[in-house]
Amino acid sequence: MAVEVGQALKILKDEKYKLTKQRKSLVDYLAEHQQRYVDVTKVDEYLRQLYPGMSHNTIYRNLKEFEEIGIVEMHVKNDQMQVKFQCDYKHMHHHHFVCSNCGLVQEIEMCPIDMTFFDQQLPGAEIDGHRFELYGLCAECKKQQNLNA
C-alpha cells in the first residue's frame, strides 16, 4: 500500500498540487479502502471529522481533481457517487469486476471491447474513452452462498 500512496503523492506533486495534510489524509484514506468503491459521502464524513473546517466543496473538488489526474476512479451506484483508489498506475486503461455482495473490486487486465464495432455504429464519431464493469458474486461470496444453500 505504501508504494501506491507514494505514487499518488508523486503524481500530485508532478501535477503541481500542494501536498497539504488534507490531501495526504484523503490519499491515505482511499489507499486503506483500495479494494472497494467507497461512497463519496463516507469520504466526506471522514475528512470533516479530521478537519471540521473543511468544506464539502473542497472535498468534492479534490476528488474530482484526483480523478482527472488518475489517482482515483469514480462511478455511480444506486444514484450514489463512489470513489476508489486507482488500482493500476501502469495500465490506466483497465476494467473491473465488482462483487454485488461485498463490494470487492478486482481488476480485469484485458479489454473486451472491440473499438472497430463503434466505428460501424457511430460513423464519424471520435471516442476518447470507455468504462467496462462486470457485476456478480466474487469467489468468496459465491462459496459462502453455496455453503448456506
**How many CA atoms lie within 13 Å of 69's alpha carbon, on the beta-carbon side?**
17
At residue 35, does pLDDT exceed 80? yes
Taking the complete model, does pTM exceed 0.85, yes or no? no
Q: Sign of the CA dihedral 88, 91, 93, 98?
A: negative
User: What letter does residue 145 receive in the DSSP assignment?
Assistant: H
Q: Is the same domain home to 69 and 106?
A: no
Residue range of the domain that includes 72: 2-85
- Check whether 93 is labelled as a binding-site residue: yes
Residue 50 confidence class, pLDDT cut points 50, 70, 90: very high
Q: Is the same domain home to 71 and 121?
A: no
Q: Is the same domain home to 65 and 103?
A: no
- Check whether 138 is labelled as a binding-site residue: yes
> For the segment 89-148, what is each residue's pLDDT rounded down to a tens digit?
555 566 778 788 888 888 777 776 777 777 778 888 887 776 777 788 888 898 888 888
- Check whether 96 is labelled as a binding-site residue: no
| Number of domains comprising the chain | 2
Q: Is the same domain home to 69 and 133?
A: no
- pLDDT of 104 reads 80
> For the segment 57-100, what is each residue's pLDDT rounded down to a tens digit?
999 999 999 998 888 888 888 888 889 887 555 555 667 787 88
Of 85, 103, 122, which residue sits at a domain end?
A: 85
Short-list 67, 74, 93, CA closest to 12: 67
- Check whether 87 is labelled as a binding-site residue: no
- Check whether 102 is labelled as a binding-site residue: yes
- CATH code, domain with 124: 3.30.1490.190
At residue 46, does pLDDT exceed 90? yes
Of 46, 61, 85, which residue sits at a domain end?
A: 85
Is 90 among the domain residues? Answer: no
User: What letter does residue 105 receive in the DSSP assignment?
Assistant: E
Q: Is the same domain home to 11 and 80?
A: yes
